Amino acid sequence: MEHSQHWADAANAVDRADRLARTVAERSAWYPRFLLVFGVAVLIVTPLWGLLTSGTRSVVLNLAWVAFIVGITWYVRRQGVAARGTTRRYLWVIAAWAVIYAVVLTVGLALFAHNPAWWIPSGLAAAAPFFVGAYREQRR
Amino acid sequence: MTTGHPRHELDDVIHAPVRFSIMATLMAADKAAFSFVRDTVEVSDSVLSRQVATLETAGYVKSIKGYVGKRPRTWLALTPAGRAAFDAHLAALRAITAMATAPDSHQSP
């Protein structure tokens, strides 16, 4: 009888752990959405950096980008939970984006300013880490 | 007398139901807001505070204070020791449940 109770208690505890893990996973669904939105923003803004280099338009673009970063940071900080490994995986996405972005800006501004043939594919390249990240998160 | 029964591997700090639920929730997360854990585990603020204090004393959980806008917010996360302890505790629980399918090993110690 005592052993039956041990088994029942243990089985219940294991079930509870699995259920709580599922709840955390469900409530962490904001993360792929965040990556997708960030990717779309990068896809739009990256070409504009190279195509709209004149004074006023450049200032407006900078302000819009700062507003976007502030807004999305606020959104992330409001989330109640981040699934295990999210921070590590996000750092990989940001690292990949930073490398691509640095290459795109350095080469583009030096050699291809105002050239859509460079900047539009560059937007796709810079956004790719976010889209790949969102896709992989969705499949987890 | 010490025996090989897996129940002897259970961690007394984690075994209490509320603390087990807190640990299980945090195990699946990098970090979680105090309010998220409270709502998920379905306990009051005071009960959660008390149980988290016990887990912090054991070195299993850490609290991180921060702000969202002007609002203070507390985040909870497992320490590496907490993750290892929960892994071991869960392994013991799974071993106990596995014994249900091996009747010969049900002999009392």
Would you call B32 and A86 a contact, using CB atoms and an 8 Å cutoff?
A: no
Contact B92, B9 (CB under 8 A): yes
Q: Which residue has the higher pLDDT, A138 or A131?
A: A131
pLDDT in tens, B23-34: 999 999 999 999
**Residue-number span of the structural domain to which A82 is assigned:** 29-139
- B67 pLDDT above the threshold of 80: yes
Q: Which residues of B touch A28 (CB under 8 A)?
A: 29
Q: Which of A53-67, B68-82, B85-99 has the lowest mean pLDDT?
A: A53-67
Would you call B94 and A10 a contact, using CB atoms and an 8 Å cutoff?
A: yes
Count of other CB atoms within 10 angstroms of residue B108: 7
Contact B91, B9 (CB under 8 A): yes
ipTM over 0.90: no
Using only the alpha carbons of chain B, give its radius of gyration: 17
The full set of domain ranges for chain B reads 12-99
B22-61 burial, b at 16+ Cβ within 10 Å, e below that, comes to bbbbbbbbbbbbbebbbebbebeeeebeebbeebeebebb
Q: Which residues of A touch B31 (CB under 8 A)?
A: 81-82
Contacts of B25 (CB under 8 A, 6+ apart): A20, A23, A24, B32, B37, B40, B41
Please tell me if residue A33 touches chain B, with a CB cutoff of 8 Å.
Answer: no
- B53 pLDDT above the threshold of 90: yes
**Residue B57 distance to chain A (closest CA, Å):** 22
Helix %, strand %, coil % for chain A, to 5? Answer: 85, 0, 10
Would you call A16 and B21 a contact, using CB atoms and an 8 Å cutoff?
A: yes
The type of residue at A73 is T
| Residue A21 domain flag | no
Chain-wide mean pLDDT for chain B?
89
Please tell me if residue A17 touches chain B, with a CB cutoff of 8 Å.
Answer: yes
Interface probe with B: pick from A1, A2, A3, most Cβ of B within 10 Å? A3
Furthest C-alpha separation in chain A: 81
Please tell me if residue B8 touches chain A, with a CB cutoff of 8 Å.
Answer: no
Nearest to B28 among A2, A16, A25 (CB): A25
Closest alpha carbon to A38 in A72, A62, A85, A5? A72
pLDDT in tens, A120-129: 999 999 999 9
Half-sphere exposure (Cβ direction) of B6: Cα atoms closer than 13 Å: 19
Closest alpha carbon to B106 in A14, A11, A5, A13? A5
| Residue A98 domain flag | yes
Across-strand partners of B77?
B62
Domain boundaries B12-99, CATH class: mainly alpha
| Residue A120 domain flag | yes
Q: How confident is the model at residue B1 (pLDDT cuts 50, 70, 90)?
A: very low
- List the alpha helices (DSSP H) in chain B: 12-15, 17-27, 34-41, 45-57, 80-99
Nearest to A84 among B30, B66, B68 (CB): B30
| Residue A43 domain flag | yes
Closest alpha carbon to A134 in A34, A47, A57? A34
- Structural domain count, chain A: 1
| Residue A80 domain flag | yes
Contact B22, B41 (CB under 8 A): yes
Distance CA A113, CA A40 (A): 22
pLDDT in tens, A25-48: 999 999 999 999 999 999 999 999
Interface probe with A: pick from B30, B39, B73, B75, most Cβ of A within 10 Å? B30
